[in-house]
């Protein structure tokens, strides 16, 4: 199943990141062969999410220097754009993969594309990893640990359900029961022609 591969790669990314556990560490993608395009994209997608997860932790430091916070906010904006671009690359992969499938007469469109479901699966992998950390702390209260274990159980169940839904969607697309129609996100705030603040700086 596709979701098994995705979840395995996401786990590998998160574990690799936490060896050094630094947002400034260099990124190396182990999937670079021609026949590993989707693996390459999945690995990159989760790495972006993992770094941004820790950006979000850092920027919430109440004692952060304002200049450093502004710089980090711009890094987060750039990361969000990179994340969106990578999701669209993943959808392009599926569009190419299923380009010869003829949708059935009764085929329907899904509420989200496969890649946006995969985006949620990547974020879910991060939630599970960090909730497991919280549930395993030895310096926290029994109440905190119990609450985190209960939340972890919900997250694990959610991963099973989301994985199943993604696999079902891909199977339906491959059989013509569903069809893909991808809309670009068209983010406006990074565009110096569409963001009036940026436009006025010209």
Average pLDDT over residues 77-105: 95
| Residue 143 in domain | yes
What is the rounded distance in angstroms from the CA atom of residue 83 to the CA atom of residue 77?
Answer: 10
| Residue 36 in domain | yes
pLDDT computed for residue 183 by the predictor = 74
| Residue 198 in domain | no
| Residue 66 in domain | yes
What is the rounded distance in angstroms from the CA atom of residue 19 to the CA atom of residue 21?
Answer: 6
| Residue 157 in domain | yes
| Residue 200 in domain | no
pLDDT computed for residue 181 by the predictor = 84
Structural domain including 140 reads 2-192
pLDDT digits (tens, 9 = 90+) for 34-88: 999 999 999 999 999 999 999 999 999 999 999 999 999 999 999 999 999 999 9
pLDDT digits (tens, 9 = 90+) for 75-90: 999 999 999 999 999 9
Give 182's pLDDT tier (boundaries 50, 70, 90): confident
| Residue 202 in domain | no
At residue 185, does pLDDT exceed 90?
Answer: no
At residue 199, does pLDDT exceed 90?
Answer: no
What is the rounded distance in angstroms from the CA atom of residue 145 to the CA atom of residue 153?
Answer: 12
Distance between alpha carbon 131 and the CA centroid of its chain, in Å? 17
| Residue 123 in domain | yes
Q: What is the 3-state secondary structure (H, E, C) of the chain?
A: CHHHHHHHHHHHHHHHHHHHCCCCCCCCCCCCCHHHHHHHHHHHHHHHHHHHHHHHHHHCCCCCCHHHHHHHHHHHHHHHHHHHHHHHHHHHHHHHHCCCCCCCCCCEECCCCHHHHHHHHHHHHHHHHHHHHHHCCCCCCHHHHHHHHHHHHHHHHHHHHHHHHHHHHHHHHHCCCEECCCCCCCCCCCCCCCCHHHHCCC
What does pTM read for this prediction?
0.89
Question: How many domains would you assign to the chain?
Answer: 1
């Amino acid at each position: 199943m596709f979701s098994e591969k995705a979840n395995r790669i996401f786990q590998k990314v998160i574990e690799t990141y936490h060896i050094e556990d630094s947002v400034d560490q260099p990124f190396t993608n182990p999937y670079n062969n021609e026949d590993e395009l989707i693996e390459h994209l999945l690995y990159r997608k989760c790495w972006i999410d993992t770094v941004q997860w820790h950006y979000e932790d850092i920027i919430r430091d109440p004692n952060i220097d304002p200049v450093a916070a502004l710089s980090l906010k711009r890094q987060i904006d750039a990361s969000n754009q990179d994340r969106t671009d990578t999701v669209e690359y993943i959808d392009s992969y599926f569009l190419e993969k299923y380009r010869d499938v003829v949708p059935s007469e009764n085929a329907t469109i899904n509420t989200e594309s496969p890649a946006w479901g995969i985006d949620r699966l990547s974020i879910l992998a991060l939630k599970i990893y960090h909730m497991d950390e919280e549930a395993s702390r030895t310096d926290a209260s029994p109440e905190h640990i119990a609450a985190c274990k209960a939340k972890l159980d919900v997250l694990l169940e959610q991963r099973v359900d989301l994985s199943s839904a993604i696999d079902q969607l891909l199977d339906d697309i491959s059989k013509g029961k569903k069809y893909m129609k991808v809309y670009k996100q068209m983010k406006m705030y990074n565009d110096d022609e569409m963001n009036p603040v940026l436009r006025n700086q010209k």
